[in-house]
């Protein structure tokens, strides 16, 4: 296939849309939590203070949110590739549990980055952690639901 032609598989297209939709809803959920509780969980979602080079830039909220969506789409694609690997025959329930477990684990692994910024919740802020993990669990549920069917490549 010539380099100038791009072929988007159904897997890539569904991952793109699922990642965008789930990422936007995670952002809205955490922004709502931050608005109602003043816990800086949305700020944590967009935080790039600990990333070299990016922390040198003055990014707008929109630019930070776009970075979040890019990560969301990439994560959706990687998880879809794992779930749709040749030879795997996971039930829809198993797929949902997988997406929920992985994304809750991602949330748990990312939460300690809050210690690297003065703008985000304290590392030991239990309510912030619970909202953060709830958001990532819901993100995983939504992503898993949107990616529940086996996708031909």
pLDDT, one tens digit per residue, over 4-28 is 444 468 888 999 999 999 999 999 9
Residue 34: name the closest of 23, 42, 24 by CA. Answer: 42
Residue 48 or residue 56, greater confidence? 48
Whether 96 and 18 have beta carbons less than 8 Å apart is answered as no
In a domain, 86, yes or no: yes
Q: Let me know if residue 16 belongs to a domain.
A: no
- In the structure encoding, which two tokens stand for residue 95, read together? 């797929």
Residue 5 lies inside a defined structural domain of this protein: no
Domain-embedded: residue 13: no
* Contact assessment for residue 43 and residue 34, using Cβ atoms and an 8 Å cutoff: yes
- DSSP code string of 52-111: TTGGGS---HHHHHHHHHHHHHHHHHHHHHHHT-TT----HHHHHHHHHHHHHHHHHHHG
* Whole-number Å distance between alpha carbons of 8 and 64: 26
Q: Which residues constitute the domain of residue 117?
A: 29-146
> How many distinct structural domains can be found in the chain?
1
pLDDT digits (tens, 9 = 90+) for 98-122: 999 999 999 999 999 888 888 899 9
Residue 3 lies in a domain: no
Length of the chain: 153
Helix axes 61-83, 10-37, angle to 10 degrees: 130
| pLDDT confidence band for 54 (50 / 70 / 90) | confident
Query: Quick check: 130 and 44 in contact, CB under 8 A?
Result: no
Longest dimension (CA), the chain: 53
Q: What is the pLDDT of residue 87?
A: 64
Residue 23 lies in a domain: no
DSSP class of 113? G
Establish if 51 belongs to a structural domain. yes
pTM for this structure? 0.87
Do the domain assignments include residue 61?
yes
């Amino acid at each position: 296939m010539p380099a100038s032609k791009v072929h988007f598989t159904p897997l890539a297209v569904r991952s793109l849309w699922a990642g965008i939709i789930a990422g936007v809803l995670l952002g809205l959920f955490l922004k709502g939590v931050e608005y109602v509780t003043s816990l800086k969980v949305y700020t944590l979602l967009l935080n790039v203070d600990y990333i070299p080079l990016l922390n040198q830039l003055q990014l707008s909220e929109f630019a930070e949110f776009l970075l979040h969506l890019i990560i969301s789409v990439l994560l959706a694609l990687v998880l879809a590739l794992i779930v749709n690997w040749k030879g795997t025959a996971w039930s829809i329930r198993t797929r949902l549990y997988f997406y929920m477990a992985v994304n809750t684990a991602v949330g748990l692994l990312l939460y300690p980055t809050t210690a690297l910024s003065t703008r985000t919740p304290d590392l030991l802020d239990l309510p912030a952690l619970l909202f953060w993990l709830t958001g990532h669990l819901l993100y995983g549920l939504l992503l898993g639901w949107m990616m529940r069917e086996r996708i031909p490549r």
